[in-house]
Amino acid sequence: MKKIYLVGIGHGNLDYLTVKAINTMKKVDVFFLLEKREHEDLLKIRKEILKKCLDTGTYRVVTAKIPERKKSKSYKEGVKTWRQQKAEVIAELIKSKMKDGESGAFLVWGDPSLYDGNLEILQHILKQGAVNFEYEVIAGITSVQILAEKHKIPLNRIGETIVITTGRKLKEYSPVEVVNVAVLLDSYSTFKHFKDTDIDIYWGGYLGTDDEILLSGKLKNIIEDLEKIRKEAKKKKGWLMDTYILRKPEGSESNE
């Protein structure tokens, strides 16, 4: 029986690789590195992790292009179609590039259980019967955890919950509903909808990497700097991975 590991690798910094992740990688016969044209830096980082953590010659590396997600009127339908296309690529890799009894791994940015579709894709492949295999999930350090670490803040405060969402879904929140919200990959710059409130922001770009950028303060006071930093970073690298927390100040009426 073939076995697949989804290994959470944090954000590319070896300091954020767990001992379990490293020990798991040492057992793997073949690593599948899926390449997005605009994210070649992330492919390079994965190769560097393998080079630094494993002995040369103990594993194989197979790279593959994955289809770009096309825009669709329905976000859910667009993602569903894209994941099905990606599933076809992954199923073929497992079928043709692994021998029976071998183990393979996908190195997942952050954690496989948070804002990542690979776990659902593997389950879809098995349900469709395209290829048979066992799988295991290895947890990783998330961008939300690194963000809290870097800004020296707890994720939760007394008597509060924390909401984890995306920029797309944040659009549905009114200012009064934003008490303690972590936002992942906000390509929409949705924080601009709250610029006239008393909300604090703790922002981080390329967290855990050499290109890491941090900014925090009263949103209305630093929003121009934040927009400039995001624009320059994206222009320089061609892409931006950012995470931030929007939080009402403690003692405000909404927190009582």
Instruction: Quote the pLDDT of residue 253.
Output: 53
Q: What pLDDT does 83 receive?
A: 86
pLDDT along the chain (256 residues), means of 10: 96 91 97 78 88 91 85 78 90 96 96 93 94 97 96 93 94 94 92 95 93 96 97 90 94 54
Q: Compute the distance between CA of residue 143 and CA of residue 202 in angstroms, rounded to an integer.
A: 12
The edge-to-edge listing of strands for the beta sheet with 60-65 is 60-65, 30-35, 103-108, 3-8, 134-138
Is 196 in a helix, a strand, or coil? coil
3-state secondary structure of 114: coil
Residue 38: the pLDDT is: 53
pTM to 2 decimals? 0.89
Direct distance between the N- and C-terminal alpha carbons of the chain, in angstroms, rounded to an integer: 56
How far from chain centre, in Å, is Cα 74?
A: 22
The whole-angstrom separation of Cα 111 and Cα 228 is 29
* Residues 196-200: contacts with CB under 8 Å, at least 24 apart: 196/220, 198/248, 198/249, 198/252, 199/175, 199/246, 199/247, 199/248, 200/246, 200/247, 200/248, 200/249
CB atoms within 10 A of CB 57: 6
User: Where are the alpha helices (H) located in 108-172, listed in sequence order?
Assistant: 118-128, 143-151, 167-170
Give CA–CA dist 244/75, Å, rounded.
22
| Residue 141 structure tokens | 């350090």
- b/e per residue 149-170 (b: at least 16 CB within 10 A): eebeeeeeeeeeebbbbebeeb
- Residue 46: exposure state from Cβ atoms within 10 A (0-12, 13-18, ≥19): buried
Distance of alpha carbon 21 from alpha carbon 46, whole angstroms: 13
Please check whether residue 230 is in contact with residue 240, taking contact to mean a CB–CB distance below 8 angstroms: yes
Residue matched to tokens 């690798």: 9
